[in-house]
Amino acid sequence: MLYLLLSLGIFGLITSTVYGVMVVAGVIHFRKRQVSANGAFTPPVSLLKPLHGAEPNLAEHLEGFFQQDYPAYEILFCARTLNDAGLKIAHQVANRFPKIPARFLISGEPPFANAKVASLDRMAQAARHSILVISDSDVRVTPEYLRNVVAPFADEKVGMVT
């Protein structure tokens, strides 16, 4: 009985020590990522925004992407046609933020079933930077959005973030 209690005590000591080491390693990893998110890692980014029509609050949603606290990024907008209402709204918003590079593309009729994928393909080909951030037109973001999305790429093992 004494050996059983001693064995259980030693087992508990070992497992709690392993758990403690794992927690400390997790905290260190989290802190490194947080430092990256706070500005140490900010490669240039191409932000891809597929558009289709004038969705409710589109101008307000797009405005947040022009107000990013990020040193170097471009925004690419793409719609099927030049007279797309969403593309016109994007032009109006972009005119209020002339310091942020914005480009407006047309995908035409999609060569495959999904028009959004055709727009993304067109924007990816035109993007100037290797990190692509894709976001729908109905997304509202804070000024830290790009820093937070790009931060995991500081780890060379990371190839994609979702």
Alpha-carbon distance 40 to 58, whole Å?
32
- CA atoms 123, 132, 137, 38: torsion sign: negative
Tens of pLDDT, residue by residue over 133-154, are: 999 999 999 999 999 999 999 9
Tens of pLDDT, residue by residue over 84-133, are: 999 999 999 999 999 999 999 999 887 878 889 999 999 999 999 999 99
- For the whole prediction, is pTM greater than 0.85? no
DSSP-derived letter for residue 41 is: -
Identify whether the C-beta of residue 68 lies closer than 8 Å to the C-beta of residue 99: no
